[in-house]
């Protein structure tokens, strides 16, 4: 009996050890988000309506934060909408019955012009987060809750932009400074507030 009890105790101990103490690092492990993400939009919607949400990012840390927005097909750095019912159940994706859609994933390298640096306390509006209702099918009228997550994944391949508009004024940082700041930024996820709305029909 003793060997069995020792073996059982060993397995129970291993199950109770946190991943970072057992030598395993979760892939989704992120630093605390230096950015605060806030959304606001309509409170009453109708089926088929285009939903326009205001998206605001604020640097809540005590130092400048460099980040970038998604710009290419299947980019790991991304915005991700989530809509649930009042029970917390994620809505299913819509069923598409039209002709096949072909996507041409022609992309280029990330350039310094795609990098934004926010000073402590500084905020900015992001107008291109899209319509969250495009990704979900509503089962019927009622209350729903929407959140938005921004994920920044470290980017190593960044180039200085070859073309710049002639009337663009120099920024606070040089292109190379922005590139180095982004390369040094660890992965993080910023999750927005919960916005509730009612689908009338």
**Residue 104 pLDDT:** 60
Structural domain boundaries of the chain? Answer: 29-162+169-199
Q: What is the model's pTM?
A: 0.78
Contact 84, 195 (CB under 8 A): no
**Residue 107 pLDDT:** 65
pLDDT tens, N- to C-terminus, the chain (201 residues):
444 443 344 333 333 333 333 333 333 445 689 999 999 999 999 998 999 999 999 999 999 999 999 876 678 999 999 999 999 999 999 887 777 766 665 567 788 989 999 999 999 999 999 999 999 999 999 999 999 999 999 888 899 988 776 766 778 899 999 999 999 999 999 999 999 999 998
DSSP 8-state code for residue 73: T
């Amino acid at each position: 009996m003793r060997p069995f009890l020792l073996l059982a105790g060993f397995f129970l101990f291993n199950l109770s050890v946190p991943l970072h103490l057992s030598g395993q690092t979760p892939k989704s492990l992120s630093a605390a988000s230096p950015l605060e993400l806030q959304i606001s939009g309509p409170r009453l919607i109708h089926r088929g309506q285009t939903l326009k949400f205001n998206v605001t990012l604020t640097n809540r840390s005590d130092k400048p934060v460099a980040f970038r927005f998604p710009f290419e097909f299947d980019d790991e750095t991304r915005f991700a909408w989530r809509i649930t019912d009042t029970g917390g159940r994620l809505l299913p994706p819509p069923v598409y019955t039209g002709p096949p859609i072909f996507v041409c994933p022609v992309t280029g390298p990330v350039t310094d012009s795609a990098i934004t640096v926010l000073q402590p306390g500084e905020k900015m509006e992001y107008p291109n987060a899209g319509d969250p209702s495009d990704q979900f099918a509503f089962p019927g009228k009622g209350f729903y809750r929407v959140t938005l997550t921004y994920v920044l994944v470290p980017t190593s391949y960044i180039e200085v932009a070859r073309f710049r508009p002639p009337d663009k004024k120099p920024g606070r940082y040089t292109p190379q400074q922005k590139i180095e700041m982004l390369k040094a930024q660890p992965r993080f996820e910023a999750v927005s507030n919960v916005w509730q709305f009612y689908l009338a029909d």
